[in-house]
Amino acid sequence: MSKTQRITPRTLKGFRDYLPAAMIPRERLISTARRVYRSYGFSPVDTPALEYLEILAGKGGEETDKQLYKFEDHGGRWVGLRFDLTVPLARFAAQHMAELGTPLKRYHIATVWRGENTQRGRYREFMQCDFDTIGTRSVAADVETALVIHDLFGALGFEAFTIRLNHRGVLTGLLERLDLADRAVPVLRALDKLAKVGPVAVADEMKAAAGATDAQAEEILRLAAIEGTNDEILAQLEPLVAGSPLGNSGVARLAELLSAVRAAGVAAGRVKLDVSIARGLDYYTGTVFETLLDALPAIGSVCSGGRYDNLAELYTNQELPGVGASLGLDRLLAAMEELGMIEKTATPAPVFVAFFDKNRLHDYLRLAAALRARGLGVELYPDPKKLGQQLKYADRRGHRVALIAGENEFTAGTVQVKDLATGKMQDVAWTGTDAGPLVEAIGRILGRIS
């Protein structure tokens, strides 16, 4: 094939390849999320990437509709790629609830697609790690949602992160009192930008987009401007929503939630009440969560969620309230990359076996197999190249230990164990049967803090 007719290898905007160095931390993150979710009793599920368009359309608000990848399939059906995992969950719950029963605690780690403009940490194909509890209105489920987020970020090695929370009822209650309840969406949209654009711009937008008066805008901003400890904020919130049942129950719910989270042992300051967060998704009705990395707030929320009263109402008569959150895996990875939290290794196997003597392949295979049987990741170099080149390869790939054995070692019944970080080597007994001494020597090197 001539050079001119060759197809340029490329990927679509917002879609990416994952090389080993990127995929290894990615998989590690996924397995950490999985472990934490499971530790709370959430069970795995999966759903199709493609759904009937009617299932997806109009569920996340106007904006998500525009971002929806949709097309006609070969059978003339209108279909769409899921843009989150919550809407598929609603369909899933409506379809299978009779079989599964409540409460349903499920986690779902999968790819979603949104046809929007790309930015750092923002792609058209990305992965979400959702966990939700369906079929209960209990505050216990809200509390566990916060606890899962807390445990998850702790397990990932984050020291400084803040779970910000709010309750839709607080804002709605205030809006009811101000007679703005029918314009909640534009008002909340404006309010959501408070941290970014400041109070003056927010007031202007409320007046322009929602037709609020100066007094109304001022009142809303006063609510959002409340500062202090969680308890102080709660105390100031009460009079502001006085007279609104919705507002009162929202404040009460937040108080309950905060004291429970504290009782569960979460450090003060980790969970912060923030009445200005509204969250764009229309289906939230109660508690809302957002998680920010203290070191990198600009990248936005890396784990968000909240409570929804009846997500599945479009698909079933049965009432299915729920609460949950979604970890933005790719955004979080972009943040961790920027914070230098991604270990640079291109191999998942710490042990490297050199193919040193071309007549000894069987012995190397036996050696590698014996170590793998003991739970070690072992890579055998495929070609009997010069030892120097093999070691160079092992070093560049990030292997920690190299095993070298030639005629001398085999005759002596040993294997040379080399610590690739320090260069130190030692001969360890190996006659083809007992891997114990080798496992111990390798374990010492791997356990050492490098």
Partner RNA sequence: GUGGCUGUAGCUCAGUUGGUUAGAGCGCUGGAUUGUGGUUCCAGAAGUCGGGGGUUCGAGUCCCCUCUGCCACCCCA
Residues near RNA (CB under 7 A) are 4, 12-14, 61, 63-64, 84, 114, 116-124, 126, 128, 189, 192-193, 196-197, 279-281, 298, 300-304, 326, 328, 330-332, 356, 385-389, 391-396, 402, 404, 406-409, 416, 418-423, 425
| Shortest reach from residue 101's CB to RNA, in Å | 27
Q: Of the two residues 234 and 402, which places its CB atom closer to RNA in the complex?
A: 402
Q: What is d(CA 182, CA 186) in angstroms, rounded to the nearest whole number?
A: 10
| Shortest reach from residue 13's CB to RNA, in Å | 3
Q: What is d(CA 225, CA 227) in angstroms, rounded to the nearest whole number?
A: 6
| Shortest reach from residue 282's CB to RNA, in Å | 7
366: helix, strand or coil: helix
Return the DSSP state at 122: B
| Shortest reach from residue 75's CB to RNA, in Å | 26
Q: What is d(CA 312, CA 414) in angstroms, rounded to the nearest whole number?
A: 65
Q: Of the two residues 103 and 300, which places its CB atom closer to RNA in the complex?
A: 300
Q: Of the two residues 184 and 235, which places its CB atom closer to RNA in the complex?
A: 184
Q: Of the two residues 235 and 355, which places its CB atom closer to RNA in the complex?
A: 355
| Shortest reach from residue 417's CB to RNA, in Å | 10
| Shortest reach from residue 124's CB to RNA, in Å | 7
List of residues 6+ apart from 96 with CB closer than 8 A:
none
Convert 403-420 to b/e letters by CB count within 10 Å (16 or more is b).
bbbeeebbeeebbbbbbb
Q: Which of 161, 155, 131, 126 is nearest to 333 (CA)?
A: 126
Q: Of the two residues 26 and 385, which places its CB atom closer to RNA in the complex?
A: 385
| Shortest reach from residue 305's CB to RNA, in Å | 7
Return the DSSP state at 431: S
Q: Of the two residues 45 and 405, which places its CB atom closer to RNA in the complex?
A: 405
Please give the single-letter amino acid code of residue 68: L
Cα 97 from chain centre: 26
List of residues 6+ apart from 399 with CB closer than 8 A:
347, 349, 350, 351, 352, 379, 420
| Shortest reach from residue 343's CB to RNA, in Å | 16
Q: Of the two residues 122 and 137, which places its CB atom closer to RNA in the complex?
A: 122
Q: Of the two residues 199 and 280, which places its CB atom closer to RNA in the complex?
A: 280
Residues paired with 292 in a beta bridge: 162
DSSP of 193-257: THHHH-HHHHHHHHHHHH---HHHHHHHHHHHT--SSHHHHHHHHHHHHTT-HHHHHHHHHHHHH
